[in-house]
Amino acid sequence: MTASQQAGFGFFCQFSYRFFVLIILMLFLSGCAGRLNKASDFFHAGDPQRALSLLEEGDNLGKRNRLLFLLEKGLIFNQLGEYQQSVNQLLEAAKLIDQFEVVSLSEQAGSLITNEWMTRYQGESSERLWVHSYLMMNYLLLGQYDDALVEAKQSLSRLEKNPEALNADYFTRALIALCFANLAEDNDAYLVYRKLADDLPSPALVATDIVAHAERLGMVDEVEKYRPFLSQSFPEGESELVLFVANDRIPLKRPGNVILPPSFRFSFPYYSAEKASWPRINILPHSWSYRPLLSTDLGVVARQALAVRKARIIAKQSIRIATKEAISQSVGNKNDVAAEALVRVALFLLDEPDTRSWQTLPGRLTLVRIPLPAGRHRLQVRLSAYGEFDQVIDLPEVQLRRGQRKFYSVRF
């Protein structure tokens, strides 16, 4: 064996060892994600309790997936009706998201020669908003209206940071307005409804609320402006039952790859173009009519949030490709072609797109507001996402005082 062959073999052994460590690390990381995927499968198969048990087994998935762990648990608790537990998980998630405002240099540098799976999952801007949406819902369901308002303000702050990505989340925006209206914060409620009217396909969907709040605030011109959008068919009542209706599941992030010679792999995540269906809702026994539905296709908002982040993904991926190319060439210069080829293959394989996401989210969230006369009510909700009604849910008996609002959550 010549000296250069010996050097090449030495490098090969050293490299194999490092490569092996990296592969083990990748397997470990994908194993963590595997547990999250499995929990999501159990959840969507209608077994949230099993999904929760799986997530509560052993450790909490390490630092990198800690946010996902909290998000999934928060939503599972919400589905199980354990709203306070859900609040605890989601508040911790919100705290963690705040910490991500400080960019970690070591983490970013490490991810440049590997991939995004090595970094802590920080959540898409849409997921960061939905943490607060679910906190709002949980607090309203618990009757803690002051706390719901705190979350409404946090949601507004998220919306202001990323309007381009998040403005299509009509459900969350209507929920924010409802949190304000619920505590007679008429001016704030009016402002949210007014902005919604500009962004919705028709102002008629929120005209009733705008007129009501504008009247209380003495804004005569606004009342006159929105009165023509009022429809006689819109129901009115002394009190209100509000349903948070969730259906379908959010599209999963998929791996996308563009491969260029000699070994450039441009990897990126994307959401598949699935659409969540609109729910058909019938309130029994009297076919109570409800206000116009305000609904969000979460897939649309998630795709938009990812699209807004696209420029940053491309920039980072370009730096990663340049770094990996520099490493490959440096190895090639110091060793033989085989070593360079091996490094290129390893770095190529390592460049896996980060497809982590909050998987237990529904595909669509819809706000259903049913005006009712004050008194005792026992209602049934008939729901369907695809044509014929296929699910009937008995709501618990509700006693409504004049002007009171009560909240209930339904997922099908």
Partner 1 sequence: MQTFSWLIKVVLVGLLMLLVAGCSVTTREVGSDEKVIYDEGYHFSDKKAIVDDMATSLLTTYPLLRATDRPVLIVYGIANRTSEHISTSAMTDDMRQALLKSGRVRFVNKIQRSNIEQETSYQYGGNVAAETRIQKARQVGAKYMLTGTLRSIEKKQPRQFRLKKKTLMYYSLNMELTDLQTGLIEWADSTEVIREATKPFIGW
Residues in the site for partner 1, rule: CB under 8 A?
91, 101-106, 146-147, 149-150, 153-154, 157, 183, 185
CB of 141 to partner 1, least distance (A): 16
The nearer residue to partner 1, 179 or 302, going by C-beta atoms, is 179
Distance (Å, whole) CA 346 – CA 332: 14
CB of 105 to partner 1, least distance (A): 6
The nearer residue to partner 1, 119 or 154, going by C-beta atoms, is 154
CB of 162 to partner 1, least distance (A): 11
CB of 99 to partner 1, least distance (A): 9
The nearer residue to partner 1, 4 or 104, going by C-beta atoms, is 104
DSSP state of 40: H
Residue 2, amino acid: T
Q: How far is CA 355 from the centre of its chain?
A: 14
Please list the residues that pair with 391 across neighbouring strands.
383
The nearer residue to partner 1, 25 or 150, going by C-beta atoms, is 150
269 exposed, middle or buried (CB, 10 Å; 0-12, 13-18, 19+)?
Answer: buried
The nearer residue to partner 1, 149 or 219, going by C-beta atoms, is 149
Neighbour count for residue 47 (Cβ, 10 Å): 14
The nearer residue to partner 1, 89 or 154, going by C-beta atoms, is 154
CB of 381 to partner 1, least distance (A): 31
User: Which pair of structure tokens corresponds to residue 163?
Assistant: 């309007």
The nearer residue to partner 1, 72 or 147, going by C-beta atoms, is 147
Question: Which spans in 45-82 are helix H?
Answer: 48-56, 66-79
CB of 185 to partner 1, least distance (A): 7
**Coil, strand or helix: which one is 65?**
coil
Q: 180 — alpha (psi -120 to 50), left (phi > 0) or beta?
A: alpha
Distance (Å, whole) CA 167 – CA 200: 10
CB of 145 to partner 1, least distance (A): 9
User: Which pair of structure tokens corresponds to residue 168?
Assistant: 């299509």
Q: 143 — alpha (psi -120 to 50), left (phi > 0) or beta?
A: left
User: Which pair of structure tokens corresponds to residue 333?
Assistant: 């210069």
